[in-house]
Amino acid sequence: MAIRRILREGDETLRKTSRPVTEIDKRLKTLLDDMADTMYAADGVGLAAPQVGVLRRVVVIDVGEGLLELINPEIVETEGSYVDVEGCLSVPGRRATVERPERCVVQAINRKGQLIEVEGTGLLARALCHELDHLDGVLYVDKIIEDVTGREDE
Ligand code: NI
């Protein structure tokens, strides 16, 4: 397990489209382990593989409900929308509001190769949409409604 370097906004890798995973091998499992380590070390709630320079469709998320490892995730259902504050480990020091679905359902495979379905509402729905955007080269800064950097929240 190791902590990897997180690419920052401005790095072209973050703007590329990631390719689907075709084989769950040792290398991929190491990537998943390292991504979780990197996310926790950075005190984040989600991390996508392109953020550590790997253009594969892999994300890890933990909004305080346990670690989710999603390989080739796809949003299959969304419902509602709401605006809330977001940040991104690739855009440190900045916070802004973004509109996201209130609820979403994602299908993916786990590290055992099993098809899984994750239903998220609120923060989890937001994290899922944010991380999946990374796989298509989209950053939340593309969707900002209002920059609230430096403002106290809650
Ligand atoms: Ni992000």
Determine the pLDDT at residue 62: 98
Question: Which pair of structure tokens corresponds to residue 53?
Answer: 């320079």
Residue 86 annotated to the active site = no
Catalytic residue among 65, 79, 131, 146: 131
CA of 23 to the centre of ligand 1 (A): 25
> Domain containing 34: what range?
12-147
For residue 100, is it within any domain? yes
Q: Please state the pTM of the whole predicted model.
A: 0.95
- The per-residue pLDDT of the chain, averaged, comes to 96
Amino acid 150: pLDDT: 87
Tens digits of residue pLDDT in 46-88: 999 999 999 999 999 999 999 999 999 999 999 999 999 999 9
Look at the chain and report how many structural domains it folds into. Answer: 1
pLDDT digits (tens, 9 = 90+) for 98-116: 999 999 999 999 999 999 9
What pLDDT score does 151 carry? 84
- What letter represents residue 23's amino acid? E
Q: Is residue 152 part of a domain?
A: no
Q: Is residue 154 part of a domain?
A: no
Q: Let me know if residue 128 belongs to a domain.
A: yes
**CA 24 to ligand 1 center in whole angstroms:** 24
What is the 47 CA–ligand 1 centroid distance (Å)? 6
Pairing relationship of beta strands 82-86 and 58-61 according to DSSP bridges: unpaired
CATH number, domain of 17, equals 3.90.45.10
User: What's the pLDDT band for 11 if we cut at 50, 70, 90?
Assistant: very high
In a domain, 118, yes or no: yes
80 C-alpha to ligand 1 centroid (Å): 22
Instruction: Give 1 or 105, the one with higher predicted confidence.
Output: 105
Residue 48 Cα to ligand 1 midpoint, Å, equals 7
What's the first-to-final CA gap in the chain, in angstroms?
Answer: 35
